[in-house]
Amino acid sequence: MSQRQRVFSGIQPSGQITLGNYLGALKQFVNLQDTADAFYCIVDLHAITVPQDPTLLRERILDLASLYIAVGLDPNKSTLFVQSDVSAHSELGWVLQCIVHMGELSRMTQFKEKAEGKDSVSVGLFTYPALMAADILLYQTNLVPVGEDQKQHLELTRDIGERFNTRFGSTFTLPEVLLLDQGARIMSLDDPTKKMSKSNSNPQSRIEMLDSPDDIRKKMSRAVTDSDREVRFDPKQKPAVSNLLAIYSLSANKSIQTLEKEYQGKGYGDFKKDLAEVLVNTLQPIQKRYAEIRNSGEIQDILKRGANRAKEVARPTLDLVKQQVGLGCTTHS
Ligand code: AQP
């Protein structure tokens, strides 16, 4: 019998989850849970690499866990847990900080983007990819479903894992990134050169999973389009409309070609109005389930069970790492 593939991924509780997070990551999470041994984490230690309000952070952890379940993740199929509840992440994160090079971290585009224009940034923001590598390598992960923005971090994770294996002996499985053909990079509604992001200071730039129907309609009507009136997929010449077409296609399960035909000669007004309704219809059932789960009082128990399973799987890897590196004196035989 072939062993199931191990899948790991996570999302930061750093704001309201966006349609970009959903189409790029969460939908893939759900698709994989039937066939893989999937671990889906709420990466709160990553969230604190930029300042967070403590009360809000704790609420957002529970919000995100409720959303995981509302979009279709089943805690009986997938292991759902909070990163800081499994201390092995921080422990391995430190070891891997001692493996990764400053030059490698300096080349990470996410760090450059997040640090840009700031007077000071935390060391944690700089070393974030080492912790992310620990998250993944700890579970001997085969596949990591993420959006395209995380591809560079994934490549670094493989480099770190390979370096460790070469230096200390075979320890980690080297993971593959799982990217969607479409949806891997959903762009901002106000600027199609930037990815849609939950921490963008302009709320008009994104659709949030919990946006009301009115907000969705307003945001769609204000979404930027391109100069002519043609609904055509051409990311180079028409980045704004191409982004909206990708969102429409993924949300309505219709091909881009079908949509181009449907909107031939109709202009942007009808197209954006219809897209808003597609999004309202997609998000409303998720929002209904979300409200039920968030108010049920069951989330903490689900996360506790998830953390216990994650600890069991993480522990042997951490013990092996300590043994290979020569750390401690109580864990090895
Ligand atoms: N615009 C996007 N299109 C497709 N996928 C996306 N992801 C994020 N934005 C898009 C994917 O969502 C997962 C979770 O991301 P994260 O919370 O770890 O942080 P991020 O990638 O930095 O996402 P955000 O929304 O931009 O968060 P903030 O603003 O807090 O940094 C990842 O798989 C990511 O690829």
Residue 156 and residue 162: Cα distance in Å, rounded? 10
Is 67:223 a contact under the CB 8 Å cutoff?
no
pLDDT for 309-319, tens place per residue? 999 999 999 99
Kindly state if the Cβ of 12 falls inside 6 Å of ligand 1.
yes
Residue 69 and residue 294: Cα distance in Å, rounded? 10
Kindly state if the Cβ of 21 falls inside 6 Å of ligand 1.
yes
Q: From the CA of 233, how far away is ligand 1's center (Å)?
A: 23
Least confident of 10-14, 178-182, 280-284: 178-182
148 Cα nearest atom in ligand 1: 35
Q: From the CA of 20, how far away is ligand 1's center (Å)?
A: 7
Kindly state if the Cβ of 150 falls inside 6 Å of ligand 1.
yes
Kindly state if the Cβ of 146 falls inside 6 Å of ligand 1.
yes
Q: What is the pLDDT at residue 333?
A: 52
> What domains sit in the chain, N to C, each tagged with a CATH number?
6-185+297-325 (3.40.50.620), 210-291 (1.10.240.10)
Q: From the CA of 302, how far away is ligand 1's center (Å)?
A: 24
How do strand 37-42 and strand 79-82 relate by DSSP bridges? Answer: parallel
Q: What is the pLDDT at residue 161?
A: 98
Query: What's CA 277's distance to the chain center, in Å?
Result: 25
Residue 158 tokens, joined: 């493989």
Question: Tokens 């994160």 belong to which residue?
Answer: 93
Q: From the CA of 6, how far away is ligand 1's center (Å)?
A: 21
pTM for the whole structure: 0.94
At 93, the pLDDT band (50, 70, 90 cuts) reads very high
pLDDT for 56-80, tens place per residue? 999 999 999 999 999 999 999 999 9
pLDDT for 221-258, tens place per residue? 999 998 888 999 999 999 999 999 999 999 999 999 99
Residue 213 and residue 171: Cα distance in Å, rounded? 49
Kindly state if the Cβ of 180 falls inside 6 Å of ligand 1.
no
